[in-house]
Amino acid sequence: MSEKEMEASNKEMITFSDEIVKAQKEAAAKEWECFVDIFRRNDRKEELLFEPLDLVKNTAIHVLARSGNKQCLKELLQMLPKTKQLEALRKPNYEENTPLHEAVLFHDDPKMVDLIMGFMPSQPDKDALLEMKNNQNETVAFRAARYGRLRVIKYLHGKLQPRGLQSSKHFQPNIYGGRERPILHTCVLNFSFGAAIWLLKNVDKSLAKEKFMVQKKEKENTKIVLQLTCLKLLAKMQLAFESTGTLEMGLTKRLLYELLPEDGYESELEDDAENNSVKIARDEESSQPNDGNKKTTKSKVGVFSRINYAFWKHAKDRFSFIGKIWDQKKRHKFAEQLVKLLLDIDEESWKQYPLVPFNEPIALSLEFPGNVTEKKEDMKLINRVEKEERVKKLLEDKKSKKKLYSDDKVGIMWKSTLFMAAASGIIEVVNLIVGKYPEAISYVNEDGLNILHVALKYRQLEIYEFIEKTSAFELLTQRISKDKRTILHQAGSMEYYREQGLAGVAYQLQCELEWYHRVREKIPKQYLMHADEDGLTAGDLLDIDHAEMHDEAKQWMKETAQSCSTVAVLIAGVVFAAAYAIPGGNEGGRPVLRTSSAFRIFTIMDVVALATSLGSVVMFLSILTSSFDLWEFHRALPRKLKWGFAMLFFSLITTMLAFAATILLTIHMEGNKSSTTLAYSLAFVIVSIFGLTQFPLYKMVEDQVKAMKKWCGPKSTKSRSNKS
């Protein structure tokens, strides 16, 4: 290392004195009284209070402000003369954060902010402190909003009278990665939806129209690739909404989530007496405050809802695990409310509808089925040179084609909001947009895709079912995209496929075939013969894209059937042998214990176990002898596998019960009812737990219930009508 490099590195080095090291130990142990005593007893306390206490150059004032201990911070500041108190509170750390910046980092405590502001000698000094910015261009109010410190924001808004917090002074965009990021985007990215709602209602509605410029640098030039409004950003945040943010919850958490109140969270956004907040209603175009005499409108919640809300609010303060789920549900409700507010504010933009372009004509495939094999080889890149040339030609053709309409701001907004929400599966955003602007569902982007194409591409079932219930569904099914693909092509393609949480590849393939089958029943029949720009019908695309999954499903199905049939044969052999070695033996060709109820249970369970185990063997053998055609994985093979599993489980259960009955007969426990009940319960519970955890029996039951509803529903309706 050169001398210049050594000098540069030495400038960045920090040397801590012995007193500071002692203070660091007390701070690490959170012994704040001892922390203050170190400075109180030291003759150099005024000097020590300005020395850095950590590697970020935080002073003792910074550390105590961040800790939330108001009394110790007050004592520490009182050790300094009044002339140096202002200097200590304005001193920045390495990130240029003042103690007030640090105070709002972990705590939403207006009293801590009030304590620090109380050491400011005059109102101009207070204003200057609140306008100080760190190296990310964040004021104290910006930082408080970023981390969702809503009580602090309302307190500051009430202190800065008569105008309150102003977007031009306190909420200028911060600097993130060399780019400016608006306050609303920052709040949303930090899941501080409550703060975002409060800012829009009380500070400046025009914040909703600010955009976050996402840039991509290419050599010396900087190219803007995307402009994100806050609404577009929300349309991509799956964790912010209930429909997509609760998918990974377990049964207990999900049950607790459902029990938590649906209403009442908006009361946290209202002004309270403690903060003495004053609402400043602002016009959308002007920053001038309107009549400030508007009363805060309390949410109209019923008495029972208020009691329920109060109960769970008390419970979440007592139990941390309830508090975490409470915070999650509150974020989901605030995110939905924020979407509504953003749609209302930007109402004029949403009223501008781009015209739907002309639909692509139907191109019937006249090729023979044998040509599909050649296309499969082409798709597998066997002839790589021809494949690359074909792709290049397709790209050149696309560039030469004219756009349907100009890619203006309205088109970008529609595409990036409605389509992004549909692709992400956020039904709340889609529902709110279509509910407020019904014609939004008919939008077609420059690639000729509508919302139905997007939902099928990304396999978003809830979005698809929502669209299916609308009056525009039949019209949407007829749209053909610019690459000549129908919605059935999208259902058959695996371009954006994501693995489902299903037990086995065969069930994943069944789910894909169910998607295709469901869409095929809805589209016009002539679309079944339509070929895309590659000359592939939807059926061809289904075969090609799912060829690898089909092979894996074959292998998985064979291995599963072989393993289960081996177990079933073993069970059949055991119960068959048990029938000839009955407990108690024979006397004159008749069982000795034939009058016992336990013996009758043994006989019944043994016969049932033999019948079900042999039945499962038949099912698994029928699977092994099948042709494993692609569409057999839609219904036939999964149904056989489910029934084979069901009979195998039932044979395991009855075998265990037969064994329990044999034990009871052997040790003569007929008179002890409690022991008998315990033995049967253990035998049943152990096998049931094994079956439920290892095999997807629940799926078979679910499918059977749905089938019963499907078939019984219309019949029951008809019978009622006939009776009437």
* DSSP-assigned letters across all residues of 222-239: EEEEEEEEHHHHHTT-GG
Domain 553-721 class, CATH top level: mainly alpha
3-class DSSP assignment, residue 13:
coil
CB 121 within 8 A of CB 84: no
**Residues 235-277: pLDDT tens digits?**
989 999 999 888 888 888 999 999 999 888 888 887 554 444 3
Q: Which CATH number fits domain 20-135: 1.10.600.10, 2.40.50.140, 1.20.140.10, 1.25.40.20?
A: 1.25.40.20
Tally of helices (H runs) and strands (E runs) in the chain: 37, 6
pLDDT-derived band of residue 296, with 50, 70 and 90 as boundaries?
A: very low
Q: What Cα–Cα distance (Å) separates residue 34 from each residue in 43, 115, 270, 589?
A: 16, 21, 40, 91
- Look at the pTM and tell me if it is higher than 0.85: no
- Residue 310's identity, in one-letter code, is A
Mean pLDDT of the chain, nearest integer: 79
CB 87 within 8 A of CB 54: no
Six token digits for residue 465: 């079912």
Six token digits for residue 67: 């800790």
Residue 348 has pLDDT above 80, yes or no: no
pLDDT-derived band of residue 295, with 50, 70 and 90 as boundaries?
A: very low
H helices within 119-215, ranges in order? 123-131, 140-146, 150-159, 167-170, 183-189, 193-202
Name the fold adopted by 371-407+428-545.
1.25.40
Stretch 174-181: mean pLDDT? 83
Q: Which residues contact 234 (CB under 8 A, 6 or more apart)?
A: 188, 240, 335, 338, 339, 342, 429
Tell me what pLDDT residue 215 has: 59
Give the residue with greater pLDDT, 372 vs 169. Answer: 169
Q: What Cα–Cα distance (Å) separates residue 266 from each residue in 261, 280, 384?
A: 12, 18, 59
Phi, psi of 363 (to 5 degrees): -115, 105
**39-53, 218-232, 431-445, 480-494: least confident range:** 218-232
Give the residue with greater pLDDT, 374 vs 112. Answer: 112
**Residues 7-27: pLDDT tens digits?**
544 456 888 999 999 999 999
Separation of alpha carbons 584 and 662, rounded Å:
9
Separation of alpha carbons 695 and 642, rounded Å:
9
Hey, where are the domains in the chain? 20-135, 174-277+304-342, 371-407+428-545, 553-721
Give the residue with greater pLDDT, 700 vs 688. Answer: 688
CB 605 within 8 A of CB 596: no
HSE-CB at 538 with a 13 A cutoff on CA atoms is 23
HSE-CB at 422 with a 13 A cutoff on CA atoms is 25
Six token digits for residue 397: 């053709």
pLDDT-derived band of residue 186, with 50, 70 and 90 as boundaries?
A: very high
Tell me what pLDDT residue 588 has: 61
Are the folds of 20-135 and 371-407+428-545 the same? yes
Tell me what pLDDT residue 663 has: 73
Residue 179 has pLDDT above 70, yes or no: yes
In this structure, the strands spanning 221-229 and 211-218 are: antiparallel
Q: What Cα–Cα distance (Å) separates residue 545 from each residue in 394, 509, 593?
A: 20, 11, 63
Separation of alpha carbons 349 and 410, rounded Å:
7
User: Torsion angle, CA of 418/420/426/432, rounded to 10 degrees?
Assistant: -20
- Residue 30's identity, in one-letter code, is K
CB 465 within 8 A of CB 430: no
Cα 403 off chain centre by = 35
Separation of alpha carbons 256 and 592, rounded Å:
55
**Residues 378-434: pLDDT tens digits?**
555 444 445 455 545 544 554 444 333 333 433 333 466 889 899 989 999 999 999
Tell me what pLDDT residue 34 has: 94
HSE-CB at 310 with a 13 A cutoff on CA atoms is 7
